[in-house]
Chain A
């Protein structure tokens, strides 16, 4: 039902999000930093702190944004839940990057390096 209505009225965000998955568009800043942070297993709050410290406090992601981003990344298989959620953390889940996620990170790094290189070369 929902999708029939989408066809008529159209939620542009969903269209945009679906297109993002299929083509090799650039990662958003938030996604890039989340993937960087998840090279070691972290739970939600840890990711927020890590992204903030990696970017020297420039980028702060709200928990709401993070939740949506994590769910996107899990659907794409770029990250995976880590271990069983037990112990002191109670129900808090931890996440970790997958091999597919690492590939994406490497590809993105190459793309960024190309941008930087060309920028250095051609910006006068």
Chain B
């Protein structure tokens, strides 16, 4: 019998990703590794674990490391990809959180928002470098295959990234912001 499997998926919405991981766990496949696209699973008892996706907090007044802190509280660390952290716990120990804890959801959404915002800013910096440094450099250099390549490459790169930002990242940021707004409304 197969004891491991690999699935290829790409998620923008971490809520859907979490639901998908839990679905796989219910089918007897325990998630253990990902690189953002390829998801690796090991066989487990159907429904043995529940999963939660969370985002790392860099600066905090709490002197303890976030992962160490959560591990000491009974959640097991599964995997970290960029600042996205995957947690699991035995279903028998109960859910991660009381259903309908709005503040907790709000906090998690805010962390997701910051996560996507960071990639947005990072990509903008790359576009700026490509457009303001590489492109003029390609024009300034003496005519050669390399200078042509540099101009084309930088133009293509910045155009591609801008498209990605417009089509994928901006809608995600807007959706997360709307979600935060509706959660804040629920609080009052």
Is B144 an interface residue, CB under 8 A from the partner? no
Please tell me if the beta carbons of B110 and A11 are within 8 angstroms of each other in the complex: yes
- B143-164 residues at the A interface, CB under 8 angstroms: none
Roughly how many angstroms separate A16 CA and B184 CA in the complex, as a whole number? 8
B residues less than 8 Å from A13 (CB atoms): 106-107, 109-110, 113, 180, 184
Give the size of the chain B interface in residues (CB under 8 angstroms). Answer: 40
Contacts A44-B73, A67-B66, A67-B70 given; indicate if A60 touches B114 (C-beta within 8 A).
Answer: no
Taking CB as reference atom, which chain B residue is nearest A95?
B62
Q: Which residue of the partner chain, among B70, B177, B184, contacts A64 with CB atoms under 8 Å? A: B70
Identify the closest chain B residue to A55 (Cβ): B98
Overall SS of chain B's interface: helix
Q: Are A63 and B73 in contact (CB under 8 A)?
A: yes
**CA A5 – CA B120 in complex, angstroms?**
10
Whether B60 pairs with A93 at a CB distance below 8 angstroms is no
**Interface SS, A side:** helix
Residues in B neighbouring A63, C-beta threshold 8 A: 69-70, 73-75
The number of chain A residues with a CB under 8 A from chain B is 36
Q: How far is the CB of B21 from chain A (nearest CB, A)?
A: 16
The A/B interface has a contact count, at CB < 8 Å, of 106
Q: Does any Cβ of A come within 8 Å of B72's Cβ?
A: yes
- Looking at the assembled complex, report how far the CB atom of A55 sits from the nearest CB atom of chain B, in whole angstroms: 9
> Which chain A positions have C-beta within 8 A of B121?
1-2, 5
A14 adjacent to chain B (CB < 8 Å): yes
User: Which A residues are in CB contact (< 8 Å) with B69?
Assistant: 44, 63, 67
Q: From B85, which residue of chain A is reached at the shortest CB distance?
A: A64
B61 touches A30 (CB 8 A): no
Ranked 6 nearest A-B pairs via Cβ: A13-B110, A63-B73, A74-B61, A62-B97, A65-B104, A63-B70
Q: Which residues of B contact A (CB under 8 A)?
A: 52, 54, 57, 60-64, 66, 68-70, 72-75, 87, 94-98, 101, 103-104, 106-110, 113-114, 117, 121, 173, 177, 180-181, 184, 187
